[in-house]
Chain A
Amino acid sequence: MLSKGLKRKREEEEEETLGVDAWWLDPGHPAVTQAPPTVASSSLFDLSVLKLHHSLRQSEPDLRHLVLVVNTLRRIQASMAPTVTLPPAPSPPVVPSVTDNLLASSDAMLSASMASLLEDLSHIEGLSQAPQPLADEGPPGRPVGGAPPSLGALDLLGPATGCLLDDGLEGLFEDIDTSMYDSELWVPASEGLKPGPEDGPDKEGAPDLDEAELDYLMDVLVGTQALERPPGPGR
């Protein structure tokens, strides 16, 4: 049930973000042609991180898909490395600091999270040993202001939606009944959240995102996470 809801929410969020974001994929769009390459790279970066998380959330990730996304992410990261700030237009002032944090911390954080997640994949192979405690949570003192990847993509919508971190997100999910997610399996908001819109407006930063991610993965490995897989095809 939970995983089904999680998937639904993710797809819904993806539909929403991608539906609104479609303009930046259109090479003919004036904003895109005028936008510097860094903006497009940043969008691709966010999209790739989204894909990476989505892929890792599968009970048994498609290794080829995972490896290709990770390698693409590395390429994008490498090209973005010298660029620390985004240009002011069309993004509002609040965005550069958010993305700054994401970019600045992303290197160590992302590689640490990817490393630990890939390491966990190798542990899936030999389950005679107990799953390793997921201690690789990235460098200490991570900036709290970092936004989850989905927010990063939304940030590029333009000045009208610049203050997404404040009210916009709540508005987006007003129509969603979150009562089904009031469950003790969910980590309380103050301790760090799973990267999903159903967590409500109290978004913690990307660093907690990875910690929750790793916890979730560990739960799956030890079987404490309820497995509510949707029924197989044709059944």
Chain B
Amino acid sequence: MKCFSRYLPYIFRPPNTILSSSCHTEADIISTVEFNHTGELLATGDKGGRVVIFQREQESKNQVHRRGEYNVYSTFQSHEPEFDYLKSLEIEEKINKIRWLPQQNAAYFLLSTNDKTVKLWKVSERDKRPEGYNLKDEEGRLRDPATITTLRVPVLRPMDLMVEATPRRVFANAHTYHINSISVNSDYETYMSADDLRINLWNFEITNQSFNIVDIKPANMEELTEVITAAEFHPHHCNTFVYSSSKGTIRLCDMRASALCDRHTKFFEEPEDPSNRSFFSEIISSISDVKFSHSGRYIMTRDYLTVKVWDLNMENRPIETYQVHDYLRSKLCSLYENDCIFDKFECVWNGSDSVIMTGSYNNFFRMFDRNTKRDVTLEASRENSKPRAILKPRKVCVGGKRRKDEISVDSLDFSKKILHTAWHPSENIIAVAATNNLYIFQDKVN
């Protein structure tokens, strides 16, 4: 097989530094990655409930080679561990998802969620401060009013840039089960949050109420056979959303049809391939992520072994199926035993919907070009990523003679899994979370 790099549409280079925490604790494990709508900001959430926002450096004529690197912009503690006294349960602070709101003024807004509570955060800059108060002195101490003989107007003076994050809304107590998804509606007034059995619709201004729009909880829990795994609003049609299930199905719902969208408008499911049937068929068909294309014409789903692209107008099968790591098909028993078969990988579109990307094991991640049908496996690791060096494509050897640069299936490290990735909305910049490390790759500068 030809060396793939010649045909690689995007040749990625790592930046000078790989952003990571110096000592790896479990709290530092990155649990979500998301670019904002312009790509200027990149947010990560971790298991310890922290959000770290990176901002892209403005390009300057002086330092062309440092085009657009990302540096830390703001860090804040979004969620703390909580204890539900009523149920005697500890609520993890791990950030499951972050979603940005489109920017409408100078401040940035994002939603972050753990298992139970969604929060709206405002991230704003302060580079001026008022000076010359009448009732307070320069240190902020109150003055004795009797000593004030003249009045003055306070003036704003420049100060060192300070980025502050404040929680503007807390949307709590609406989910009995674990929240797996949040999605901002295209009307920018509402958003939805989905847990294992229910989906709720919120208005950003109202925190003490939410509308339940999907409820698949059976009257008798003995009959429970399916859970909701992911949900997302259509990028343009504010009445339309999709949600995926553990049985490998996707339902598209129209909120205009009824208040409770238990009856779907469209139902996407691929018939099971009888030749591939096994005890694990259902587990590997469970969809771990669903994403609308930017155009709104397609949806992409990720199950354990494949990524599928569906046309909204065709429900009976996907239009494209990409094998992420088919060599694992013969190892499903072991992967069931060590629980890896339950790993939830995410998938992303590039800005033009022509390339899709998803993670795998051994810190590998895969890209599929939908037009040329070419695919590539890359690795996010310090050893192989010298700054400015081109990423070399990797290959997994499935049997027979192993070539020099190939890695055999049995040598794969299943503890190094790339579950979360993000693609810049318009440029070829990708963010890849490998446990506690965040890798940002850019395509080469011409």
Contact = CB atoms under 8 A, between A and B. Distances in A.
A72 B81 CA distance: 33
A234 B279 contact: no
A219 to B, nearest CB: 10
A27 B224 CA distance: 33
Interface stretch (B62-70, B104-112, B185-193, B225-233): B225-233
Interface residues of A, number: 39
A59 B90 contact: yes
B279 A76 contact: yes
B177 interface: yes
Interface of A: 18, 25, 27, 41, 44, 47, 51, 59-60, 62-65, 67-68, 70-72, 75-76, 79, 114-115, 118-119, 121-122, 124-125, 127, 220-221, 223, 227, 229, 232-235
B227 A59 contact: no
Interface residues of B, number: 41
A41 B334 CA distance: 14
B194 interface: no
Contacts of B178: 60, 62-63
Contact of B342 (A44, A59, A68, A223): A68
A71 B282 contact: yes
A227 B81 CA distance: 16
Interface string B87-101: 111101100000000
A191 B97 CA distance: 46
Contacts of A79: 279
A67 B246 contact: yes
Contacts of B196: 63-64
Among the interface residues B27, B47, B222, B334, which one has the most CB atoms of the partner chain A within 10 A?
Answer: B222
Contacts of B7: none
Interface in B245-281: 246, 279-280
A54 to B, nearest CB: 10
Query: In terms of DSSP, what is the predominant structure of the interface of chain A?
Result: helix
Interface in B157-196: 176-178, 196
Contact of B48 (A59, A223, A227, A233): A233
Among the interface residues B93, B221, B246, which one has the most CB atoms of the partner chain A within 10 A?
Answer: B221
A79 B339 CA distance: 22
B371 interface: no
A221 B86 CA distance: 9
B131 interface: no
A37 to B, nearest CB: 11
Given A25-B333, A63-B224, A119-B220, 11 more contacts: A18-B337, A47-B336, A63-B177, A64-B227, A65-B339, A67-B226, A68-B342, A70-B225, A72-B280, A232-B90, A234-B27
Contacts of B229: 64
Give the top 4 A-B pairs by smallest Cβ distance, nearest first.
Answer: A234-B27, A233-B26, A122-B221, A115-B222
B88 A59 contact: yes
B28 interface: yes
B197 interface: yes
Interface in B185-241: 196-197, 217, 220-222, 224-227, 229
Contact of B25 (A59, A124, A234): A234
A221 B87 CA distance: 7
Interface in B266-319: 279-280, 282-283, 286
Contacts of B220: 119
A114 B220 CA distance: 12
Given A67-B224, A72-B282, A233-B47, A127 B86 contact: yes
A111 B246 CA distance: 20
A62 B88 CA distance: 16
A115 B86 CA distance: 24
Contacts of B280: 72
Contacts of B89: 59-60
